[in-house]
Structure 1
Amino acid sequence: MAKPDSKPPFTPVAVLRAQARKHVERGPVTRSYPEDREVILEHLGRALATEWVCVLRYLRHAYCITGVVSEPIKAHFLEQAREEQAHAHKLAERIVQLGGEPDLNPATLTERSHAEYVPVTSTQDMIRENLIAERIAVEAYREFIQFLGDRDPTTRTMLESILAEEEEHADDLRDLLA
């Protein structure tokens, strides 16, 4: 039976220091980052576009909702819009940290988004469209998290916190729909 290697697979301190100095302009992106960082940036960009489409849809619904029960639902839509905007902020910051640039071009936002922007007028349809979008976001974030695995724990942890909030949004909307 082979004797297990007693040395852990850590980079020598001298090498860590030299690499940090050599590539200081890369900020937090070190040589241990996944080689497919561009793919990660692309998916972060899609998530960013999705969040902004959701912000806009929630705001439209908050502005357009009418009826006897509209005030609490309007408040709910405004809160969801704020939370989606906070998600967008986190995603944009992470894109920049990884050396990318957040694409906020309104002309192509819906093309890059997982969710659709479907204009509806009834309260029931507004809730339904928002629930559909949240379900899409939940599935997209789950797939992205699985794709990342342990290769980018910082991005994965951020996405897991966003996913938890998206699941909460879907649960709240399901309750409103009932």
Structure 2
Amino acid sequence: MQQEQDETMNPAQPFLSDIETLRAKAREQMDKGPVTSAYGADLDRVLEVLNQSLATEIVCVLRYRQHHFAANGLNAGPVAAEFLEHANEEQQHADLFAARIVQLGGVPDLNPQTLTGRSHSQYVTSHELRAMIEEDLVAERIAIAAYTEIIAWLGDGDPTTRRIFEEVLATEEEHAEDMLSLLEQG
């Protein structure tokens, strides 16, 4: 019994490295910035997924802004204001993804020629206010589904990127709720 307790207290592989080992590892490959040997995700794939999500957010910014300016009719004022608020929040999401890409040593892909092909959602506009709201709701639902899958895929391999996606997901869920409420009011 005592031997079992000693083994759990002193496992063969310590939970934490000793300070000297941590210091030595920190000096190795300093050019990798925050990506250390403890990073548990496929870095190239994470960068690809982040760039796809960046494209998604940029497409959403553009669609919401177009809807903001194109909205017309008796009820258009408050809806247009909601579109603009969402566009600004989507831009914040894009900035979060771009900053994380750079932090991980990648390059944000903002090439307009390939943007819509990399985006999870589509750029669909309309002249009808209800159709605009419906398209924005569909796009939010696509982002929610994609980001939920990405969060599960990241798991504990890259907790920082996972937390960014979790933060963005919460806002996307609010956006979907807002769009649904607008549809129910109209």
TM-score, length-scaled by structure 2 = 0.92
Does the residue aligned with 2:109 lie in a helix, a strand or coil? coil
Aligned positions of 1:1-178 closer than 5 A? 3=4, 4-7=7-10, 8-178=14-184
Q: Deviations over 1:73-131 (max 9, x none)?
A: 11000000000000000000011111111000011000000000012110000000000
Structure 2 CA distance, aligned partners of 1:92 and 1:24? 21
TM-score, length-scaled by structure 1 = 0.96
Q: Deviations over 1:39-69 (max 9, x none)?
A: 1111111110000000000000011111111
Q: Is the 8 A contact 2:40 2:156 kept in 1?
A: no
Does the residue aligned with 2:9 lie in a helix, a strand or coil? coil
Structure 2 CA distance, aligned partners of 1:28 and 1:99? 9
Structure 1 gap ranges (5+): none
Which structure has the greater CA radius of gyration?
Answer: 2
One-letter identity of the residue aligned with 1:94: R
Deviation at 1:35, TM superposition (A): 4.8
Structure 2 gap ranges (5+): none
Identity %: 52
Higher deviation after alignment, 13-22 or 143-152: 13-22
One-letter identity of the residue aligned with 1:153: P
One-letter identity of the residue aligned with 2:94: A
Structure 1 CA distance, aligned partners of 2:40 and 2:124? 36
Corresponding residue pairs, total: 178
